[in-house]
Amino acid sequence: MRERLATMCDIVERHAVEERQPTPVEGLTLFRMRTSLHPLHVLYYPRLCIILHGSKSVSLGDAAFDIDPRTFFLVAADLPVASRVFVASDGRPHLALTLDLDRVVLAQVLRHLPARAVPGLPPAGLVTAPMRLELLEPLGRLLALLDRPDALDFLRPLILQELYFHLLRSPLGDTLVQFAMGGSRLSQIGRATDWIKARYAEPVSIEALAELAGMSVTSFHRHFKAVTLMTPLQYRTQIRLQEARRLLLAERLSAGAAGLAVGYDSQSQFSRDYKRMFGTPPASDTARLVAAQA
């Protein structure tokens, strides 16, 4: 594994010009960062995350996940998280990659595997597992396609099939199966999170969300928290505050205007929630971030 990681690090360092580098390999993004970063509050979409050098800490709800080259994580739902990157003690850059999950290729692999029972309670939307050589090898070959653009279109789906085959046979297999199935509990909760993301500024009815997910209110609460590790209202608050921070920085809105834009009727409640999530009130946080970008 050490030799494979070293080879993959070399490829990332050659191809990652920016800290976050999209690539010609569909779904593959590279990361190359020279300094440790304060927590970034972002929305994770379904993906694999592999750390090649350095480490990373991800907070979701009240849970924290630590990832390094010995561990990887799988995201199977849209989740608002706080993510912090750490460079290694040797001073080399933090190197990582993410790979968006491809439902089409995953479905092709599932058709060739024995059917498996789907647990009643959905898995957490973010799960970690020890890295295995059988996973690292296809990931290394996928990364190597950056040096073989002529082979990219033909080999990418074949490499993904091998990768998903091994993932489905791993302890994370149940999570991938639920992600791929349209009628799974994970997919039902996904309908609710999609509604919240699209209408975060509107009043929310738990009964309406439960109906959208096709569940009773009690079952919906239990399954939603199992997937997102938070309640529906906590999920909406995270989405609101991430968007408010974007409006403060990118649109240069005032704190009052930003709070109103994301659905807050009370400015004091907005300031309290904002400080609880980001550590400082809106105006102070914006000033600090603008100064850091200068």
**2-180 belongs to which CATH class?**
mainly beta
Q: State percent of the chain over pLDDT 70.
A: 97
* Closest residue by Cα to residue 286 from 246, 248, 237: 248
- pLDDT at residue 100 in the model: 97
The DSSP-derived string for 5-45 is HHHHHHHHHHH--SSEEE-SSTTEEEEEESS--PPEEEEE-
Tokens of residue 251, six digits: 């649109």
Specify the pTM. Answer: 0.91
d(CA 279, CA 281): 7
- pLDDT at residue 27 in the model: 96
Q: State percent of the chain over pLDDT 90.
A: 78
Query: Residue 294 pLDDT more than 90?
Result: no
Q: How confident is the model at residue 191 (pLDDT cuts 50, 70, 90)?
A: very high
Summarize pLDDT for 30-39 with one digit per residue, the tens.
999 999 887 8
Tokens of residue 154, six digits: 């033909």
- pLDDT at residue 101 in the model: 95
CB 193 within 8 A of CB 78: yes
Summarize pLDDT for 238-266 with one digit per residue, the tens.
999 999 999 999 899 999 999 999 999 99
Residues of the chain with CATH 2.60.120.10: 2-180
d(CA 53, CA 190): 32
DSSP helix/strand/coil, 196: helix
Q: How confident is the model at residue 114 (pLDDT cuts 50, 70, 90)?
A: confident
Residues of the chain with CATH 1.10.10.60: 183-294
Summarize pLDDT for 148-179 with one digit per residue, the tens.
999 999 999 999 999 999 999 888 888 998 89
> What is the average per-residue pLDDT within 216-233?
95
Q: 183-294: what fold?
A: Arc Repressor Mutant, subunit A (1.10.10)
User: Exposed, middle or buried, 169 (CB in 10 Å: 0-12/13-18/19+)?
Assistant: exposed
CB 136 within 8 A of CB 1: yes
- pLDDT at residue 293 in the model: 67
